[in-house]
Structure 1
Amino acid sequence: MTVAHHLQTFHGLRVHTLPEAGTAGLPEPDAVAWRLDCFEAGDIPFPEVWGHFTAAVDTTRVRALVLGPWWDDEYCELRPVLDLVLADAERFPALRALFLADVTGEECEVSWLQLTDVTPVLERFPLLEEFGVRGGDSQGLGEEPLSLRPVRHEALRVLRFESGGLPGPVVRAVAACELPALERLELWLGVQQYGGDATVADLAPILAGGRFPALRHLGLQDSELQDEIAAAVASAPVVAQLETLSLSMGTLTDTGAEALLGGQPLTHLKRLDLHHHFMSGAVTERLRAAVGSAGTEVDLSEHCEPHRWRDEEWRYVAVSE
C-alpha cells in the first residue's frame, strides 16, 4: 500500500493549494496552510511557483506551508528546492508549521522520494512548532539520503516522519535531539527492503522517558518489527507520561499483543491505536476488554490476513513502497 491522499488539514488549518496564476480570491495569508504543487501550478518549475507565491501572498503572515510535488517534468531532488525556501526564511516570521513532500503514490511512491538533510529546517526556523516529512530515498538515487543531525529546538511540539523505510541514523538522531516542548512524535519505521534499518535498540532513549518531558503522544508505526516494538513498549517508562499511543500500520501479531497484555497497565491512555494488525479475534477481544473497559478508546480496525506463498506466510506493513 502507498499514501493515497494529499493533506486536507495541517496545523489545524485547511490546506489550500496555490492556483496556477493570479491573486484574485486568495484566502487571507494566515487563514490556511499554503500548499505549493508544480503539477497544479501548470507544470512550471518550482522557482517560478515560489516566486508567484511570495509575490501574491503576504509571507509575513503565513503560518503553515506544505510542499507538494516540486518537479514539473523530470523528477529532481529536494535539496535545491529546500535551499530556496530556507534562503527566504526571514520573510516568514509567523511560520509555525512545515510539511515536506505531500506527495501521493500516484505522483511518486514514498520510497522513491529523494529527500535530503532536513536539519537546516529546524535551524532556520527556531519558532517552528510542527514539522512533517514524507519519504526517504531508499533506492539510493539521490546525492544524499534523508538525514537529520541531533539539534536542540525550543519550540517544536510535533515531529512526524512518514516513510516506507526510515533510516536508522534518522531514528537515532531523533532520539538524540533535545526537544523540550515536543508533545507528539510519530515515526513510520517501514521495512528493511526500503531502507528501514532502525532497530528497537535505536528507540531506547525515547522509550526510557525523560528525553522529551512534554511528550503526550508516541507513534512507533508501520514496522515489520511491530511485535518487538510492542514488547519494548510494554515495560517502557515513557508510557506513563503518554495520553495516546500508536503501534498501528505494522505487522503486530498475537505475540506483540500478549506482551502488551502482560506488561504495564495501559488504562491511563485516552487512546490506543493498533489498526492494521495480524492479531487473532480472541486476542483482540482480550485487548479490548483489558484496556477498553477503563474508558480507553482502542482502535483494532483493519485486521489483516498474511499473504501465503507455498509454505510461507508474509505479513506486510500499511505503507512500504
Structure 2
Amino acid sequence: MGKKSRVKSRVAAPAAEAEVGPRQPCPCGSGRRYKACHGSQDGPPPAFARRPFEGMPGECDVVALRELVPSATAELTVPSAGDRRVLLTTLNPGAAPALVRQDGTIWLGLQVQHAYGDPSRDLAAVLNRALEAEPGSAVGITQAPAADAPRLQDLVSQDALAVTVHDGFGWWVADLDDADGSLAAALEQANAAATPTLRLAQVEAAYWTDVGSKEHLRWAMPHDEDALLDALARLHAADRTRLVEGSRLVGMFRAHGLLVPVWDLEVGTGADALEDPAADFASALEEALAVTEPLSQEERAARSGLANRQLTIR
C-alpha cells in the first residue's frame, strides 16, 4: 500500500463506538495518552498527587527539605508512636528510607524516591513499618501503598514544624563512638557534597545557600501558582523583586505543587543581610496577591518572562 493510501486508510477508519484511540487522552483524567495510561500493557501508572504534602504542617519547608536542603531535621509529633521520637530527616545514612535507632528513635528520610506517585503516602507507609521494626533496622517499602492508605499529614498532630539546618552530617554519628576514625572517613565524603545552607528566621521556608561561585535564596511559597505568578509579575514590573544590592530574581522551581522563586546573590551577601529585606518582600507580596485588577501590558510581559524561567523538579 502506498503512503497516500495508508494515510487515507487511517483517516477513514473511525474508532469503534466507546473505543478510545491510543493517542487520545485517557478517560481517567490523568492527562496522559491512553496508550501510556490505562491502555498500557503494564496497566495504569501509580496515581500522581499534584500537591502531596498539602495540609502537612510546614508544607513549604517539607518540600524544601525534600528537594533543596542538604542536611536538616525536624521533630514530628506522631500519636501512634507513643513516647518514641520521630525525626524527619533530609537524608539518612545509606539513603535508607527509615532507620530505627537503638533507643527506638525513628529517622524518616525525605530524600528517597519510591516512584509510587504520592511521596507523602509513601512516607507514611515507611513510618508505619518502622514503628513495627526492631531497633537497629533499616526500613523501606517495595510496593505502592493502597490508594486509601494514610498520608504523612494524617499521622502527625502538630501545628508547626521546627526545622534545624545542620552544617554537614555530623548528627548522623553524634551519639556513636568513633574510636577508629572510620565514621569520620565516611562523613567526609557526605559533607563534601553538602553546600552551606541556612534557613531565614523572619519568613517561612526561605533558604540561603552558597554554591561557591554564587549564592542563592530559594523560597518555597504556599500560594496558588497562577495567583503567585501574577503577584510576582506586578512586583517585578515595578522593580520591587530586588532583595539586596546585586540580587536578582532569576526564575523558579516547581516542586510538589509549589513554586520556589530563586534569587541570585553576589558572593559574600550571606543570610543575615537577607532577613529584613525578605520580611519586607513578604509584606509586599501579600499586598500584590490581594490586587484583583487585570495585569497591565508591562506586567503581562513580566509574567511571561517569569513563567518561561520555571524548572519543574517533581
Q: State TM-score, norm by structure 2.
A: 0.28
Larger radius of gyration: 2
TM-score (norm 1): 0.27
Return the structure number with greater relative CO, CA threshold 8 A, min gap 6.
2
